[in-house]
Amino acid sequence: MMNENKYQVIDPEIDDYKLTAEDLKKNSKKKRKGLKVFLAIVLIFAILVGGAGVYVNSYLNKLNYGDSQGKANPNLDKEESLNFDNQADADEDLRSRLANDVMWYDDRIINILLVGVDYGDEETVMFQGAYLPRSDSMILVSINTINNVINMVSLSRAAYVAIPGHGNKRLNTAHAYGGASLLVDTIEQNYKIRIDKYITVDISGFAQIVDALGGVTVELTAAEANKVLGVSEAGTYDLNGDEAVYYSRLRSIDTDRKRTGRQRAVLNAIASKLRRSSASTMIDLLDTVLPLVTTDFSKTELLSQVTKAPKYLSMSIHEDIIPHVPYPLSTRDGKEVLILNWDEEDKYIHDLLYPDIIPQSAEKK
């Protein structure tokens, strides 16, 4: 068992990054709304399946199938060079984990990885989309058909993991090295759970989504209003697509944790608009959303999942995060790394995804 005091904080100015139980409680309602909207879009497909198969097929053709597009930035190794206290111990722990190739799974539990990436960031745009971006968010949606529960588990971007073929780095770097397939391999090898399918969404298209909905309403602080709109008063403002994206990416006025809060605010505003939208508006929105999505689901597999949407909508939803307790960030040269207690996290995530179930096991596929 890893000593819980084995890793010490290098930079004490990290309290803003810690996730507490209260944080999870505040975020749970927003996550639930976001997933319900996602499932609602799936339900639209289910309705279309019942009436017009060819029509549905035309929408499925708008999706991107296969792995993420792009290649690794040749400067990525230099950018991701990490140097922090106790790195040798952390590396040894990861080597020990990788010696065990067994993953947990159960055929009655479907694990889908939702990945948010930003092909619109400055570096990617500079090279005309040639380079793969880091993953901005990673949420494991685990559908338990035994207990009728959907577990939404956020995986920390800063988790220090072993990336196959690229050494030990932060989890969000895996996508920048090899796209969604390498990210899946990385999660499977480090977290020891099988990922059945992935869905990647290009979040740079949020501006199009916001404009398609006629804008969103967001409460801004005085500092945010000044940066986004050039006005000095705090208040509730209607933002267009470009303004909403700028607001969600804003980091110069405070911290990265506040920035992620702004991203959630925009998502919640989009969800609010979607809940008030007509079915025809939702269907029209698919024209905007679907080209931003890449998946390794086949069309047949997607249609199979679509027919199960009503059942999924009736399931209870549980939100969680890994690591499940706040860990101190080891920092050096402006980079933050979370060193996980893998023994504890293994037990927690396995108990969460496979409660009272003896999971099957298999070597890496």
| Tokens found for residue 1 | 């068992």
Burial class (CB in 10 A: 0-12, 13-18, 19+), 260: middle
**Beta-bridge mates of residue 277:** none
Average pLDDT, consecutive stretches of 10 residues, N- to C-terminus, the chain (365 residues): 30 35 46 53 49 64 80 70 70 77 85 84 47 86 92 87 88 92 94 92 79 90 92 93 85 68 75 75 78 88 79 81 82 75 90 85 58
- Is the separation of the CB atoms in 116 and 209 below 8 Å? no
Cα–Cα distance for residue pair 49/306, rounded to 1 Å: 8
The CA distance from 97 to 272, in Å, is 43
Whether 342 is in a domain gets the answer yes
Find the CATH number of the domain harbouring 199: 3.30.420.590
Give the per-residue pLDDT at 222.
93
What single DSSP character describes residue 132? P
Element (H, E) at 141: strand 135-144
pLDDT score at 97? 76
Q: Is residue 88 part of a domain?
A: yes
Q: How far apart, in whole angstroms, are the C-alpha atoms of residue 62 and residue 284?
A: 13
Residue whose entry in the numeric block shows the structure tokens 């996550």: 31
Residue 122 lies in a domain: yes
Q: What amino acid occupies position 13?
A: E
Other Cβ atoms within 10 Å of 262 Cβ, number: 22
Q: Tell me if 27 is assigned to some domain.
A: yes
Instruction: State the pTM of this model.
Output: 0.73
In a domain, 350, yes or no: yes
**Are 104 and 193 contacting, i.e. CB atoms less than 8 angstroms apart?**
yes
Q: Report the alpha-carbon distance of residue 154 to residue 35 in Å, rounded.
A: 13
SS3 at position 159: strand
**64-65 and 293-295: which strand pairing?**
parallel
> Which is nearest to 34 in space by CA: 275, 209, 288, 304?
275
Question: Can you give the residue range of the structural domain that contains 140?
Answer: 15-203+295-354
Is the residue at 330 inside a domain? Answer: yes
Ordered alpha helix ranges (H), the chain? 21-51, 53-60, 76-79, 87-98, 122-126, 174-191, 206-212, 222-229, 241-249, 256-275, 279-289, 299-306, 309-314, 342-353
Residue 38 lies in a domain: yes
Helix (H, G, I), strand (E, B) or coil at 195: coil
Q: Are 37 and 275 in contact (CB under 8 A)?
A: yes
Predicted confidence at residue 363, as pLDDT, reads 56
Q: How many domains does the chain have?
A: 1
What pLDDT score does 364 carry? Answer: 52
Largest CA distance in the chain: 61
Is residue 237 a part of any domain in this protein?
no
